[in-house]
Amino acid sequence: MDKLVIEGGKSLRGEVTVSGAKNAVLPILAATLLTEEPCVIKGVPNLRDTNTMLKILRSLGKNAEFDKGTVRVTQAKETNFVADYKLVSTMRASFCVLGPLLGKLKKAKVSLPGGCVIGVRPVDLHLKGFKALGTEITIEGGYVNAVAKNLKGNRMYLGGAYGSSVLATDNVMMAAVLAKGKTIIESAACEPEVVDLAEFLIKMGAKIKGYGTPIIEIEGVKYLHGAEHRIIPDRIEAGTFIIAALITRGDITIKNVMFQHLGALIDKLEEAGAHISRTDGSMRVRSRKRLTPINITTLPYPGFPTDIQAQIMSLMTVTPGISVITEKIYPDRFMHVAELNRMGAHIQREGPHAIVEGIKHLSGAPVMASDLRASAGLVLAGLAAKGLTSVSRIYHLERGYENMEMKLQALGAKIWREKE
C-alpha cells in the first residue's frame, strides 16, 4: 500500500486541467449495456473506479478497451445478466448495471452493494423505481433478482429521507428508456452527471425530457443504438483545486471546468472573500487576503455538494473564526474530523454538524484516509500545514482523482508517494 507524503507551506501556482467526471462516466459506461452496437466514450479519467466498471462490463459480455482517455465498448459475447458480488461490493456505482440489464434483457441478478464508511447507503429508492416499472424483485443470498415480464412505463416518486438519489435516478432512467410507454420520475436528481447520462442515452436513441429538473419524462423506445460521447469535466475535482489554491494562498488557473456546475461552492467562497475570475472554460483562483468563516449545509444539486464537504472543512480549519458545517446527505460523513484534529484543528462534531474553530496553522501529522473525499480533504490540509503530513491508504484517493499528486507537483506542491 502507498501513502502520500506532503511537505506543507508551499503556495500553489500555475495551471491545472480537470479530468472527466467520475460520477458521470460510471453510469454512462453501464448504459453501454443497453445496446449491442459499439460505443465510444471520450474524456474518460483513468481511475480505480473506472477500471472496476470496465471489469464489470467485461464480466457481463462486453469488450472494453481503454486507451488515452477513450473507452471503446463492443459486444464480445451474449450479455450475462449476473453481476458478481466480488466486483459490485468494491464499488457502489456498480449497482447501476441493474437498470440497463433490466431494460435490455428484462432480467438481472446484481449483488447488493452493502454499506460503506460514509453511511448506510440503502438502495430502496432504486428498487421502488424498478417495481413501479412492473419488475418483480426478490432478495436472496445478498443478490437482487429482478424480473420484468412486462417492463412498463409508470409515474413514480423517487424522493427519500435525504432528498433525491443520483444513482437511483440514473438506474431507473436506464431501465425506463426501453420500457413500454411513458415513465415520469418525480423528485429526480438534478445533478450534472444525471444530465450527462441523459444526453448519452438520447444519442443512443432514447426519448427523455426534463432531465436536469426534478421531473423527468421518458417515452420508452424499442431499440437503442451505439453512440459516441464526451464526458463532462469533474466538478468535484475542480472544486478540490479551487480550495487547494485558497488553502495554500496560491494563484491557480483551472482549465476544463464548467462554471455553471460550481455555483454553490463559488458563492460560498466569494462570501468568504475569495477572488475567483472566470473565462470561457477556465477559471483563476487567487487568495488575496485571509478568508472569513462561512456556514455550509450540503444539499442535493444545485445545493452545496456533499462531495466537497471534507475539502471545505479543511479550508475552514485554517480560517480564523467559527464555521458550522452541516451534512444533510450523509449525516455520518465525518471520518475526516478526527484526522484533521490530529493535525491540530479544532473541530467538534454535534450530530450532523461540525463546528470548526479556525486557527492560524495546522501542523503536519500522519493521518489515515477513510474514503475518497476525506482523503482529498486531508491532502489539502497537508498542503497548508507546517511540516510533514503523511496520508495513508491513498487507494481511496485513486478511486476518484486522476494523477492527483502529479497535478499538485506541477503546481509547485512538495508531495510524493512512499510505500507504507
Q: How far is the CB of 356 from ligand EPZ (least distance, A)?
A: 20
Backbone φ, ψ for residue 290 (5° rounding): -65, 140
Neighbours of 420 (CB within 10 A): 9
Record the cell numbers describing residue 318, joined without a space. Answer: 485554517
Q: Please identify which of the residues 39, 96, 116, 190 carries the catalytic annotation.
A: 116
Residues 299 and 263: their CA atoms lie apart, in Å, by 13
116 assigned to active site: yes
E-strand spans in 119-244?
136-140, 143-147, 155-157, 182-186, 207-209, 215-219, 228-230
Pick 81 or 330: Cβ nearer ligand EPZ:
330
> Burial, 98: exposed, middle or buried (Cβ in 10 Å; 0-12, 13-18, 19+)?
buried
Pick 291 or 374: Cβ nearer ligand EPZ:
374
Distance from CA of residue 343 to its chain's centroid? 26
Residues 258 and 332: their CA atoms lie apart, in Å, by 29
Pick 113 or 358: Cβ nearer ligand EPZ:
113
Q: How far is the CB of 238 from ligand EPZ (least distance, A)?
A: 13
Q: How far is the CB of 303 from ligand EPZ (least distance, A)?
A: 10
Q: How far is the CB of 11 from ligand EPZ (least distance, A)?
A: 27
Pick 26 or 144: Cβ nearer ligand EPZ:
26
Contacts of 279 (CB under 8 A, 6+ apart): none
Q: How far is the CB of 167 from ligand EPZ (least distance, A)?
A: 3
Residues 130 and 110: their CA atoms lie apart, in Å, by 13
Paired sense of beta strands 282-286 and 251-255, if any: antiparallel
Pick 121 or 203: Cβ nearer ligand EPZ:
121
Binding footprint of ligand EPZ on the chain (CB under 6 A):
22-23, 26, 92-93, 119, 121-126, 160-162, 165-168, 189, 193, 306-307, 329-330, 372-373, 400
Residues designated catalytic: 116
